[in-house]
Structure 1
Amino acid sequence: MQEQDHRGEGGQGQGARTQKQASSVGEDRAILLGFTMMAFSVLMFFVVGMTTVKPYINSRWEENSSCVLQQTAILERWVDCRGVSSMPCLTVTVYLNGSADGVFLHLDEESILGPITVKKCSRAGNCQLSHEELHDEVKNVENNLTGRQGSTFPCFSSRKPYLSHAVLRRKYTLSRTLFGLLWPCLMLVGGAALVGLVKLTQWLGRLSSRLFCLKTRALVSTL
């Protein structure tokens, strides 16, 4: 009987140690996952900062203006399309805020960041399309704008350094910047919360063990 009791106690002790080891491995994996999430969030912050936050901060297209369509034209010489192919250049000239001086209108800010010739182009097409498809796309845009000559529509202008340019819409806005920062923030908070919960669980486990030992000692001393 005593041997069976010792075997039972040994089996219970071995099971407790196995359960504790499995719990420790799971906690270590959870902590590793949390730190990995935080590391990836830092990398995402860097990528979002370079592609979204920095262009938004450096953006100078903050003035709401009114543009009056003056004329459209397709240049004979095709321009480089992001180093992939070439495309026809559609120039759109508008009057800005009732001024008699014409400025070049662009779809967004990306068209102005290219070479001098490309800065006159209204928009950058899909560079993966064939030359015929690119020409048809630009021609359709020109036909749609030709019937709207003299019409007024809202646009954005900049005092410096793009005095002779205007954009129809802003690509880098506050809402897009905040949306881009949302995902790395969630990953950072999730990783930190995961590590914090594991550490809290470990601390509560140690505290429970200490309280159990104190109660056991107190019970033994009373006996």
Structure 2
Amino acid sequence: EMRVEGVLTAVEKQVWRRGVDGRGLERAKAQMPVSSVGEDRAILLGFTMMAFSVLMFFVVGISMVKPYVNSKWEEEAGCVLVQADILKEWVDCRGVSTVPCLRVMVNLTGSQQKALLHYDEESVHLTPECFYIPKCQMDRKELEDEVLKVKNNISAHLGGSLPCLADPTRHPGDVILNRKYTLRSALFALLWPSLMLGGGALLVGLVKLTQCLAHLCSEVCTEALESGGTSRYTHSKLYRLLKSGPHSPSQDSVN
């Protein structure tokens, strides 16, 4: 019996060491998070989306947000149409050709001051004297007919009043009908890069969360195997060893 207990103790220690040295290393390797190809591509896509969103913020900030911040066309005024005529000298159109210029004069109802009417604040800088210019074309007859048609429509409403916007500090002699750069347009332009930035950050966060959950699951499974699986494996090995061994307690008692 003393010999059997010694054999059992030696075998248990040997099996336990094998489990620690052999399978323990494999379990430690299994606990290390290994990123799959799909996860790497998802993370790369997320960072790419965030990079493009930053670039879009830069472009939108220059083209929409900055003009809105610098625009001071906020003072509402009443305008009365006084005169609409086509200038004899045609204006340059993007260096490609020349086009006719329709000039519209109005009177401000509050001060009775004359001013040039423009469609929006951008046309004040591009064509300071023109209310309307046609698109750049090479056919002069079509250009003249288009401008004449707009002039006739405005001339039919001479003497009528319409709401307009003024900037008396920087543009005292000009008024506009509509604002191109508004708070709504600026926010709408910022919506798309914001969605792309949020989508990229969400994608990267979900992938990282999945990897953390997989790592935690691997640790829990490993702890469960070390607590219960090793003892069951050791007892089964010992049972098979004692059953098949040449020296058993029954044989010793018989001898």
TM-score (norm 1): 0.85
Does the aligned pair in 1 maintain the 2:137–2:143 contact within 8 Å? no
Q: Which residue of 1 aligns with 2:85?
A: 73
Does the aligned pair in 2 maintain the 1:78–1:87 contact within 8 Å? yes
Amino acid at match of 1:71: Q
Structure 1 CA distance, aligned partners of 2:138 and 2:231? 88
Flag the structure with larger Rg. Answer: 2
What SS class does the counterpart of residue 160 from structure 1 fall into?
coil
- Say if 1:155 and 1:81 are closer, same or farther in 2 by CA, change over 3 A: same
Amino acid at match of 2:77: S
Gaps spanning 5+ residues in structure 1: where? 1-16
What SS class does the counterpart of residue 61 from structure 2 fall into?
helix
Please list the CA deviations of residues 26-66 of structure 1 after superposition, one character each: whole Å capped at 9, or x if unmatched: 00000000000011101111111111111111101111211
- Say if 1:87 and 1:107 are closer, same or farther in 2 by CA, change over 3 A: same
Q: Which residue of 1 aligns with 2:174?
A: 165
Q: Which residue of 1 aligns with 2:132?
A: 123
Structure 1 stretch 201-210 or stretch 120-129: which is displaced more? 120-129
What SS class does the counterpart of residue 86 from structure 1 fall into?
strand
Please list the CA deviations of residues 104-162 of structure 1 after superposition, one character each: whole Å capped at 9, or x if unmatched: 00011121113xxx301113432246332222221111100101111011111112211
Query: CA offset at residue 98 of structure 1?
Result: 3.5
Q: Which residue of 2 aligns with 1:113?
A: 125
Gaps spanning 5+ residues in structure 2: where? 1-29, 233-255
What SS class does the counterpart of residue 119 from structure 1 fall into?
coil
Amino acid at match of 1:131: R
Structure 2 CA distance, aligned partners of 1:57 and 1:123? 25
- Say if 1:27 and 1:63 are closer, same or farther in 2 by CA, change over 3 A: same
Match of residue 52, structure 1, among 64, 68, 80? 64
Structure 2 CA distance, aligned partners of 1:129 and 1:60? 36
Amino acid at match of 2:125: L
Query: CA offset at residue 85 of structure 1?
Result: 2.0
- Number of aligned pairs? 202
Q: Does 1:135 align with 2:144?
A: yes
Structure 1 stretch 127-136 or stretch 62-71: which is displaced more? 127-136
Q: Does 1:175 align with 2:208?
A: no
Structure 2 CA distance, aligned partners of 1:131 and 1:34? 53
Match of residue 207, structure 2, among 198, 216, 219? 198
Structure 1 CA distance, aligned partners of 2:194 and 2:138? 37
- Say if 1:124 and 1:201 are closer, same or farther in 2 by CA, change over 3 A: farther
Q: Percent identity?
A: 54
Q: Which residue of 2 aligns with 1:43?
A: 55
Amino acid at match of 1:120: E
Q: Does 1:145 align with 2:154?
A: yes
Structure 1 stretch 102-111 or stretch 134-143: which is displaced more? 134-143
Does the aligned pair in 1 maintain the 2:133–2:147 contact within 8 Å? no
- Say if 1:133 and 1:107 are closer, same or farther in 2 by CA, change over 3 A: same
Q: Which residue of 2 aligns with 1:82?
A: 94
Deviation beyond 6 Å, 4+ runs, structure 1: none
Query: CA offset at residue 220 of structure 1?
Result: 2.6
